[in-house]
Amino acid sequence: MFDLVNGLPVHPLVVHAVVVLLPLAIVGTILVAVRPTWRRAYGPLVVVASALSVVLIPVATSSGEALEKHVGDPGAHAHLGDQLIWFAIPLLILNVLLVAVDRVGAQRVSHRVVAAIAAVSVLAALGAGVQVYRVGDSGARAAWADRVTSTK
């Protein structure tokens, strides 16, 4: 299903969407976590970017498995890519929580609880950022390492 479109592999197309949306969600998470005044305006956008990432990551992994049948084993990239969803789902949940507590207001939710959710959100975002880098780096190496040589 996620193999080819017009004779081209789906994987690079979907991966580029994830590579844009998930880092935007990561940066957005950090910003709305450390700048509470931005939560009301930008929090929903961060939630949407996170949600789209969570939806597209399985498409990227499925299309990657289909591509693997054409080009061979990508090595560590496939394993790291399979793990990415487990970084994106907590990020989405924490973003929903941040936006929800902002909507409920300080009257119902303790400031310490909000601060704790914000702190955990930043940690989750940093972890997701590291994993995105690891997946992308391993993918680039799998695709290009033997095709590009550096010259001095």
pLDDT in tens, 100-139: 998 887 678 888 999 999 999 999 999 999 999 999 888 8
Q: Which amino acid is at 23?
A: P
Look at residue 149 and tell me if it is in a domain. Answer: no
- Number of domains making up the chain: 1
Look at residue 151 and tell me if it is in a domain. Answer: no
pLDDT score of 71 more than 80 = no
CA separation for the pair 112, 114 (Å, rounded): 5
Mean predicted confidence (pLDDT) in 21-39: 97
Look at residue 150 and tell me if it is in a domain. Answer: no
Q: What is the pTM of this model?
A: 0.88
Q: Which amino acid is at 73?
A: D
CA separation for the pair 41, 31 (Å, rounded): 12
The closest of 102, 132, 14 to 64, measured between CA atoms, is 14
Q: Find residue 9's DSSP bridge partners.
A: 4
Phi, psi of 5 (to 5 degrees): -130, 120
Range of the domain at 58: 4-144
Look at residue 152 and tell me if it is in a domain. Answer: no
Both tokens assigned to 63:
């299309």
